[in-house]
Amino acid sequence: MSEILNLSRRGFLRAGIAAGSGLILGVHLSRFGSSIALAEEKGRTFVPNAFIRIGSDDVVTVIVNHSEMGQGPYTTIPMLVADELDADWSKVRFEPAPVDPAYNHSVYGLQMTGGSTSTWSEWDRVRKAGAVARAMLVTDAANTWGVEPATCRTENGFVIHDASNRRLSYGQLVDKAAELKPPQNVTVKDPKSFKIIGKATKRLDTPEKIDGTGIFGIDVKLPGMLTALVARSPVFGGKVKSFNADKAKAIPGVRDVVQIDRGVAVVADGFWPAKKGREALEVVWDDGPLADLDSKTQGKKYAELAEKPGAVARNDGNAAEALAKGEKKIEAVYDLPYLAHATMEPMNCVAEVRADGCDVWVGTQFQTGDFQATVQETGLKPDQVKLHTTLLGGGFGRRAVIDSHFVREAVQISKIVKAPIKVIWTREDDMRGGYYRPRAYHTVSAALDAKGDPIAWKQRIVCQSFIAGTPFESVIIKNGVDATAVEGSNDIPYKIPNLYVDWQQAPQGVPTLWLRSVGHTHSAFVVETMLDELAHAAGRDPVEYRKSLLDKSSRQLRVLNAVTEKAAWGSPLPDGRGRGVAVHESFGSYIAHVVEASVSPEGRVKVHRVVSAVDCGPVVNPDTVKAQIEGGIVFGLTAALYGEITFEQGRVKQGNFHDYPMLRMNEMPVVEVHLVESKDRMGGVGEPGVPPVAPALANAIFAVTGKRIRNLPIRREELKKA
Amino acid sequence: MLKLKINGKEHSVDVSHDTPLLWVIRETFGLTGTKFGCGMAQCGACTVHLDGEAIRSCVTPVSRAASKEVTTIEGLPPDVGEPLRQAWIAVDVPQCGYCQSGQIMAAAELLRETPRPTDEDIDEAMSGNICRCGTYHRVRKAIHLAADLKVKGGQR
């Protein structure tokens, strides 16, 4: 990491020195030379493929193609490689991958981090990369000793020949190993032989995150770099009509004021003069069609849209007919707001556009898109452009932008002012900058038979699509249904014979995007609170009711059983405390939460305890899995209790953490995460902890107050005792 | 020209006096461990010590720091910093890591004043520091552990 960002060596990087020795599988050295070349100086290295570099100092460097935004790929992916390689874990290091097709996501075909896929999508590929390297080192050692490779074994960074009691460290083997041909077929380990995979392993990136040395995008420094703040339209879709830069330029430290696609940039010696300059800048905006956007009016519009049939996402049996026949009918309307990702590190990007090339430093989840955008903006050739991935101060989807807007801004400014530029977004820029989780309006009608079992479910979802009109459309939108809008609703796991779900696309305009667990953020809330209503209407226990509707072999049932046992579901609670449950599958993992909460007479909600059971299939680093679920719980509680972006006269009302609050230490409940042993298919863990939180909390609040929460965030005034 | 003492070293800086200390630390001195999160003392990512007191450098004009001792994450003295770092590693606290400098600086002040903090003390001292990744309960655990380590270290 620090090597790649050691900018005093920029000239060296720019020269694009090709790596010396070493074999590269499917990678063009001219492009990924920037990262490997640096280490070449230190001694001889063995580069068996794009993911591994072994030095004569025995250090094994794993090149990680998934961005580190808290979810731990800089440890998890090296664990996969190191186990197959039988490496000495204390000598394993990580390095972020440069942009190269060799590092494309094994499923998406683009270099991208998202969808809770980093571990399972690399499970086969990087383990195989480790096994190939191991096989080459064994062959090298066997050749050296004149013995059969099959008589050698590997352990802890050594090839060992027991019969002759000889051993060579991997570092001692790098010279000749580099000359060998990688084998075509290698066998990866039987899980029973794993030594690192499955063991709680300390994260490799912790040291640099606790001593101030870790470099996030906002920390990048270049000689002669200037800082820019951009005045963007206060209304989405608005344009600059005219501007007067005289007062801005009068601020000491302001160097330039330039217009770019998305607004007017004030370029200065540092953040403070740039901010003062932007405050002094006079811009006349053409607000455009969203000038009157208002959340209340928008809500009415969504309610009208919910009257009309949408694109069908699921249709089992005949829901309309069954609804008419039911013994009991329950109807509910849900309104869930726009949400901001609010990453702790506000958006930023550093770009240096030169006549002969361009370097971009950015904490990004979408290298391919940002790289291509840079090529397009600069008019340079792809091999003249380098994009360096820094640490990400939170991502949650916000740094996987399909239009690369935060990269384009920096590149455009640097191109105009001919200097390295760091664009920093203030917290307000970030909060009001869009790309929100879409507002989601759901209606559900359900009917129960005489026994209380659900016989019909009709659900309509009204929300925007952030996929329509993008290159992702052909993959994600099928038969007019945007999968990101209906996921979690169209795959309801409960036995309901007549089940209908459709989607009404709300008018576009407000920029929206995937936010940690995407469509599941709203779908799980609707489905799992409605299930609770049905259980209540049937006069049955919410856990027993769910269990009766789940397939006996389902993984939902597995985690539901585990969580109710761990949380002692049904046991007495202190006075004034209620329990709620929710179970939900997303991104291939199955999570159930039990939340214990109380509500004060003033309507203030206190979350006391969250117990969670997780089935994500085989686990690579158990502690990271737990950490991700813990974090998901906090993310979900923040959204349930506080999250809301609203509009008045076209403008976003919220701007900073005082009016878009986050859960804080004093509100943190006791959290217990239990991993359920599972040999089923591996899922992700970055996102799936989030969806069941809000419904489990709302169900707990119902248990203690008898009041149903159907709109988020939870409002104190609605829970206040009259 | 303003005289500043950062992490034990004296400097003279020529910046506008209303510049927040945060940007002088980050841009003038290149100490980027101190982070920008909100710019209005809401999140704690910019926490540094001014004469030993934890302050929000994003709203502290640099002129207020003149002739005082500024300590950043990079200069945290080992007697406080080491137990905290060991505990942070043992508990694997950080996720994205962006807020952690601020968390550690806030925790350092807490432990200096309250060597054996209770959960309530931790709530009080740490609620000004937001962690969007949600590492709060690990921060809590690590502070208790650091308190243990510090006491043991002191006895040696």
Domains of chain A: 7-210 (3.30.365.10), 217-288+347-424 (3.30.365.10), 295-338+436-719 (3.30.365.10)
Considering only CB atoms, B99 lies closest to which of A253, A344, A391, namely A344
Considering only CB atoms, A427 lies closest to which of B37, B94, B99, namely B37
Q: What is the pLDDT of residues A198-242, one digit of tens each?
A: 999 999 999 999 999 999 999 999 999 999 999 999 999 999 999
Considering only CB atoms, A394 lies closest to which of B26, B33, B96, namely B96
Q: What is the pLDDT of residues A150-162, one digit of tens each?
A: 999 999 999 999 9
Q: Within 10 Å of residue A335's Cβ, how many Cβ atoms?
A: 17
**Residue B1 pLDDT:** 87
Distance of CA B147 to the CA centre of its chain: 16
Confidence of residue A29 (pLDDT cuts 50, 70, 90): very low
A699 sits in the region (left: phi over 0; alpha: psi -120 to 50; else beta) called alpha
Which of chain B's residues have a Cβ under 8 Å away from the Cβ of A219? 26, 32
Nearest of A617, A569, A592, A579 to residue A674 by alpha carbon = A592
pLDDT at residue A535 is higher than 90: yes
Mutate to test the interface with B, among A204, A347, A654, A668 (most CBs of B within 10 A): A668
Note if the bond before A713 is cis, omega within 30 degrees: yes
pLDDT at residue A19 is higher than 90: no
Q: What is the pLDDT of residues A332-383, one digit of tens each?
A: 999 999 999 999 999 999 999 999 999 999 999 999 999 999 999 999 999 9
CB contact under 8 A, A631 and B134: yes
Nearest of A277, A253, A252 to residue A265 by alpha carbon = A277
Beta strands B2-6 and B9-13, pairing class: antiparallel
d(Cα A695, Cα A530) in Å, to the nearest integer? 9
In one-letter notation, the amino acid at residue B130 is I
**Residue A42 pLDDT:** 53
- Find the helix or strand (DSSP H, E) in which A578 lies: strand A577-586
Nearest of A87, A49, A83 to residue A618 by alpha carbon = A83
CB contact under 8 A, B138 and A271: no
Determine the average pLDDT of the residues in A59-69: 98
Q: What is the residue-wise DSSP string for A669-688?
A: PEEEEEEPP--S-----SST
CB contact under 8 A, A212 and B97: no
d(Cα A324, Cα A463) in Å, to the nearest integer? 27
**Residue A276 pLDDT:** 98
Query: E-strand spans in B7-142?
Result: 9-13, 47-50, 53-56, 69-71
Residue with tokens 């989607």: A503
How many pairs of residues across A and B have Cβ atoms under 8 Å apart?
187
Tokens of A169: 């460290």
Tell me the pLDDT of chain B (156 aa) as tens digits. Answer: 899 999 999 999 999 999 999 999 999 999 999 999 999 999 999 999 999 999 999 999 999 999 999 999 999 999 999 999 999 999 999 999 999 999 999 999 999 999 999 999 999 999 999 999 999 999 999 999 999 998 887 544
Note if the bond before A511 is cis, omega within 30 degrees: no
d(Cα B9, Cα B21) in Å, to the nearest integer? 16
**Residue B154 pLDDT:** 56
Confidence of residue A405 (pLDDT cuts 50, 70, 90): very high
Q: What's the pTM?
A: 0.94
**Nearest C-alpha in B relative to A631:** B134
The DSSP 8-state label assigned to residue B58 in this structure reads T
- Find the helix or strand (DSSP H, E) in which B145 lies: helix B136-155
Helix (H, G, I), strand (E, B) or coil at A627: helix
Closest chain B C-alpha to A101 CA, distance in angstroms: 26
pLDDT at residue A22 is higher than 90: no
Segments making up each domain of chain B, as ranges: 2-75, 78-155
Q: Within 10 Å of residue A198's Cβ, how many Cβ atoms?
A: 15
Determine the average pLDDT of the residues in A42-67: 94
Helix (H, G, I), strand (E, B) or coil at A377: helix
**Nearest C-alpha in A relative to B17:** A272
Closest chain B C-alpha to A69 CA, distance in angstroms: 5
Residue with tokens 């965030």: A713
Burial of A690 (0-12, 13-18, 19+ CB in 10 A): buried
CB contact under 8 A, A627 and B92: yes
d(Cα A594, Cα A615) in Å, to the nearest integer? 15
**Residue B151 pLDDT:** 81
pLDDT at residue A663 is higher than 60: yes
pLDDT at residue A528 is higher than 50: yes
d(Cα A256, Cα A662) in Å, to the nearest integer? 36
CB contact under 8 A, B94 and A212: no
Distance of CA A311 to the CA centre of its chain: 28
CB contact under 8 A, A202 and B92: yes
Tokens of A459: 């659900």
Residues 6+ apart with CB under 8 A from A287: A233, A234, A235, A238, A650
Superfamily of domain covering B2-75: Beta-grasp domain (3.10.20.30)
Considering only CB atoms, B40 lies closest to which of A205, A208, A656, namely A656
Considering only CB atoms, A630 lies closest to which of B27, B43, B137, namely B137
In one-letter notation, the amino acid at residue A86 is D
A323 sits in the region (left: phi over 0; alpha: psi -120 to 50; else beta) called alpha
Residue with tokens 């874990």: A89
pLDDT at residue A36 is higher than 70: no
Determine the average pLDDT of the residues in A412-440: 98
Which of chain B's residues have a Cβ under 8 Å away from the Cβ of A206? 88-89, 92-94, 97
pLDDT at residue A37 is higher than 80: no
Closest chain B C-alpha to A630 CA, distance in angstroms: 7
Tokens of A516: 């940690």
Domain B78-155 has CATH 1.10.150.120: yes
Closest chain A C-alpha to B139 CA, distance in angstroms: 9
Considering only CB atoms, B134 lies closest to which of A206, A211, A635, namely A635
Task: Calculate the average pLDDT of chain A.
Answer: 94
Give me the numbers of helices (H) and strands (E) for chain A, helices first please: 21, 29
Asked if this assembly's ipTM is beyond 0.90, the reply is: yes
Helix (H, G, I), strand (E, B) or coil at A123: helix
